[in-house]
Amino acid sequence: MAELTSHMKELIALAQEHQTPYASLIIGPDDNILAKAPNRVKQDTDATSHAEMNVIRMASNITGNANLAGCHLITTCEPCPMCAAAIYWSGIRRVTYGLSIPEIMEAGHDQLPGRIDEITRADQNGLQISGGLMAAEVRALFG
């Protein structure tokens, strides 16, 4: 748990640096950080430039493989339906997030209400999802 907390603190700092509440990282099968990225929707003028999408792209480029089986994605906020689908297709089987989609909506950010566990329910490979890691600290990113 201490290592997860350390990673979330790193993500909160990255999000603050980029003036966004959204940041993600991927831990590789060797338990080292493979890639980390913030949300860049505004900077890239690209609606798909969510932190999770960016970090999946980076990790795939680094490994030379679209299959990220054995990796763990940690993110400040629960992945939206688009990102949940990308997580599924990338083969990532473990996700940890801070703030849930309903909590993001309560903070005033527009979200599709689909939850990652609902979207990936048909996953026969068993995606492990846990939320609420440092939720109060992540909530503070929303002002």
Q: What is the DSSP letter of 64?
A: T
Long-range contacts of 117-121 (CB under 8 A, 24+ apart): 119/81, 119/84, 119/85, 119/88, 120/84, 120/87, 120/88
Catalytic residue, chosen from 52, 103, 106, 118, is 52
Distances (CA, A) of 76 to 2, 65, 66, 123, 125: 16, 25, 23, 23, 24
For the question of residue 137 being annotated catalytic, the response is no
Residues noted as catalytic: 52
